[in-house]
Amino acid sequence: MNNKPKFNQRYIWMITFAAAMGGFLFGYDFVVIGGAKPFYEPFFDLVTVTQRGWGTSSAIVGCIVGAIICILLSDTLGRKRLLILSGFLFALSAMGTALAESFFAFNAFRMIGGVAMGAALNLVPMYISEIAPAEKRGILVTINQLMIMIGILAAQVVNLLISKFDTELIASPTTQMIRESWSGQLGWRWMFGAEVIPAIIFFFTDVHGS
Q: Using one digit for the tens of pLDDT, what is the confidence trace for 35-76?
A: 999 999 999 999 999 999 999 999 999 999 999 999 999 888
**What's the whole-number average pLDDT of the chain?**
90
Mean of pLDDT values over 151-160: 96
Q: What percent of the chain has pLDDT over 70?
A: 92
| Least confident window among 65-69, 137-141, 186-190, 204-208 | 204-208
Q: Give the pLDDT score at 113.
A: 97
Q: Report angle CA 20, 26, 30 to the nearest 5 degrees.
A: 160
Domains defined along the chain, listed by start: 25-208 (1.20.1250.20)
| CA-wise closest residue to 180 among 43, 38, 37 | 43
pTM for this prediction: 0.90
E-strand stretches of the chain: none
> Cβ(15)–Cβ(210) under 8 Å?
yes
Q: Give the pLDDT score at 138.
A: 87
- Rg of the chain over all Cα atoms, to the nearest angstrom: 19
Mean of pLDDT values over 81-96: 95
Q: Give the pLDDT score at 142.
A: 93
pLDDT at 1 > cutoff 50: no
Q: Give the pLDDT score at 75.
A: 87
pLDDT at 208 > cutoff 70: no
pLDDT band at 7 (very low <50, low <70, confident <90, very high): low
| CA-wise closest residue to 205 among 77, 9, 15, 13 | 15
